[in-house]
Each structure stands twice: as structure tokens, then as C-alpha cells.
Copies of this chain bind each other. A is one copy, B any other.
């Protein structure tokens, strides 16, 4: 089996404007993730970010991507609609997508879900415990029954998403909330895994369990050979889907 081609997309703004964030992710969230994922021989990893031409996601980049990770927060509206169209079409054609944390409010995730994707939240250093509720799922491979993040932003229900095709993780927060934190979706020929943790001020993306999940997710989201073949034009155009 050939390498899985991974593109890590990051908004890459907080890291430039907030000293607090830069301390945690000096080269950006994307680079921290890339360094970890490059440890895996079967992954071929590149990065892209908002302020590149075409938001870093040209047709060429997407046609060369099997799985796209997406972190965004303060500048969702600056992602060009034509880039969103292109990513949307790529997912329906088979590309995997892994929206991270505040990407719940990204244009592309909302487009794919069809709902508001709103939720309750609080910045207060809650402790988060993530429970595996689907132990037979490949997403849960290598995980203990639960694991903890000592401090994180709280996201709470009601999370306005379609019921996931498979729900793998449910979070508990100190303050009294629960959240569907690991959500699998199939859309078109593509797969989506929404993963909750990862506020920019916490070292979440250095956590071994988090990295294990993301690695599992990349494998789960990677298109099968046929879905990959479908990426090169043999599905009907859906460019007018809004």
C-alpha cells in the first residue's frame, strides 16, 4: 500500500498574534502536528495555511491529498467560498477530512453537516476526560478506556450536528458538561472525523493519546482505492451544491 498523503491546514493566526499561543506552538499548530505525524512511515505529510494564495488549497494540492486536517478559529469567514466549494467537492469525491476543535464552526464543516454546528463553551481550564464508547472501532485502537487532558476549553451539548454515523468518544468536563467529541461521518465517497480537543492555548496536540487518535483517524478517513480513483473526474459535477 502506498503512502497516505496528508495535508494539515491551519488558520495560523493565533500563533502570530498571541504570545501565549506562540509559547505552546512556536511554529504553528500545523507544524507541531506535522512533526508528530511524520514519525509514521506510511504517512506523507505537508502543511498549508490561510494566508497562502488560494488559502493554500489549490486544485493541485487537493488532488494530491488523501486526508485533510483542518484547524481554524478566528478567521473562518476569510476562507474563500471557492476554496470551500473545492474542498467540499473533494470530500464528496473521496478525500478524508478531519476538522479539529473550533473547526466545528468552519464553513466547510457546516457545509457538510447542514446544521448550525453551534455548541456551548467556556474558557476556564476545565479538566477533560474522553471516554471510548465504541471499543471495537479502529479509531479507538491503542486507547485506554478513557484518557484525560488536564486543562482544555469546555465544549458542551447541545452540539447541533447530525447524529454521527458512529460515535466513538464522549467527553466529561469538570464543570458539569458532556460532549460528543469523536464523531464519524460518511458523506459522498468521503469520510469525516470531527475531533473536539485542541484549544490553541493548551499543549493538546503533543498528547500521546490525541496523536494516537489522529493517526487512527487518518487511516480510517483515507479513501479506498476506488474512492481515490473517483477523485479524478468520473463523478457528476455538483458545483451548484450550496
Residues of A that sit less than 8 Å from B by CB = 77, 81, 84, 92, 94, 107, 110-118, 129, 131-138, 140-143, 145-146, 156-160, 162-163, 165-167, 170-173, 176-178, 180, 185-191, 223-227, 230, 235-236, 238, 240-242
Contact = CB atoms under 8 A, between A and B. Distances in A.
A149 B84 CA distance: 41
Nearest to A144: B226
A132 B158 contact: yes
A238 B77 CA distance: 13
A229 to B, nearest CB: 10
A159 to B, nearest CB: 7
30 contacts: A81-B242, A92-B160, A110-B241, A110-B242, A115-B187, A115-B188, A115-B241, A116-B235, A116-B236, A116-B241, A117-B241, A118-B236, A118-B238, A131-B178, A134-B163, A136-B186, A136-B187, A136-B188, A136-B190, A141-B224, A141-B226, A143-B226, A157-B170, A160-B188, A162-B165, A162-B186, A163-B166, A167-B167, A172-B178, A242-B242
Nearest to A92: B116
Contacts of A110: 241-242
Nearest to A174: B176
A218 to B, nearest CB: 14
Contact of A189 (B135, B162, B223, B235): B135
Given A163-B166, A240-B77, A242-B242, A158 B135 contact: yes
A112 B186 CA distance: 15
Please indicate which of the listed interface residues A110, A116, A173, A189 has the most CB atoms of chain B within 10 Å of its own CB: A116
A224 B140 CA distance: 8
A7 B232 CA distance: 39
A218 B111 CA distance: 27
Contacts of A118: 235-236, 238
A101 B32 CA distance: 45
A180 B133 contact: yes
Nearest to A185: B162
